[in-house]
């Protein structure tokens, strides 16, 4: 995480254990919902996890609203959730940011694509994002990760070609 990213994280949490923030495994944020009954924000992720933030446990209503706004801008992006006070990062969160690690982003995108709906639009969007991340890995000098990410791109590209061939076959049948 860069210095700017650190400035954006809300680290002012008062907990019984004072453990600070713990990172969860990066994932792709799919949906964000608010439950007025439980007063919680639920984030549904590509790895089938649901991360929950209890609004009443935030330092203020303003910080909860800021978190909600931030989450709206992170939908369908690889994110890094944080949890405070030694809570379970697989279940809870109190802060989130877009994941900045190119390789982790490529892994998350490829995993979501592999498990997802294989439409032409999904192939194309995934390929475009992976290509940018792969180029970033090369520029960062992370050669082994670059090669693996390049393989992700090749697999998605093959999926795109296969989808296009299927579309052409269907047009010929009409």
**Mean pLDDT over residues 10-23, rounded?**
59
Q: pTM of the entire structure?
A: 0.61
Please check whether residue 31 is in contact with residue 72, taking contact to mean a CB–CB distance below 8 angstroms: no
Q: What share of the chain is helix, strand, coil (3-state, %, to 5)?
A: 50, 20, 30
pLDDT for 94: 92
Query: At residue 7, does pLDDT exceed 60?
Result: no
For 79-111, b/e burial (b = at least 16 CB within 10 A) is: bbbbbbbebebeebbbbbbbbebbbbbbbbbbb
Nearest to 69 by CA among 89, 44, 41: 41
Helix extents (H) in 9-119: 61-72, 102-115
The residue with greater pLDDT, 167 or 87, is 87
- Confidence band of 16 (pLDDT split at 50, 70, 90): very low
Query: At residue 4, does pLDDT exceed 50?
Result: no
Domains along the chain? Answer: 3-98 (2.40.50), 102-173 (no CATH)
Tens of pLDDT along 40-69? 999 998 888 999 999 998 888 899 999 999
Planar angle of CA 17, 101, 34, nearest 5 degrees: 55
Structure tokens at 11: 């680290």
């Amino acid at each position: 995480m860069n210095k700017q990213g650190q400035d954006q994280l809300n680290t002012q949490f008062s907990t019984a254990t004072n453990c600070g923030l713990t990172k969860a495994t990066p994932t792709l944020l799919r949906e964000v919902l608010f439950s007025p009954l439980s007063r919680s924000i639920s984030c549904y992720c590509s790895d089938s996890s649901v991360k929950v933030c209890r609004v009443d446990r935030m330092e203020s209503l303003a910080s909860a609203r800021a978190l909600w706004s931030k989450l709206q801008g992170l939908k369908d992006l690889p994110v890094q959730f944080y949890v405070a006070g030694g809570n379970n990062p697989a279940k809870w969160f109190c802060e989130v940011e877009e994941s900045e690690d190119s390789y982790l982003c490529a892994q998350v995108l490829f995993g979501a694509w592999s498990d997802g709906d294989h439409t032409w639009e999904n192939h194309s969007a995934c390929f475009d994002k992976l290509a940018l991340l792969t180029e970033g890995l090369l520029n960062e000098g992370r050669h082994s990760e670059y090669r693996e990410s390049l393989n992700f791109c090749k697999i998605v590209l093959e999926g795109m070609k296969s989808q296009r061939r299927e579309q052409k076959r269907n047009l010929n049948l009409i």
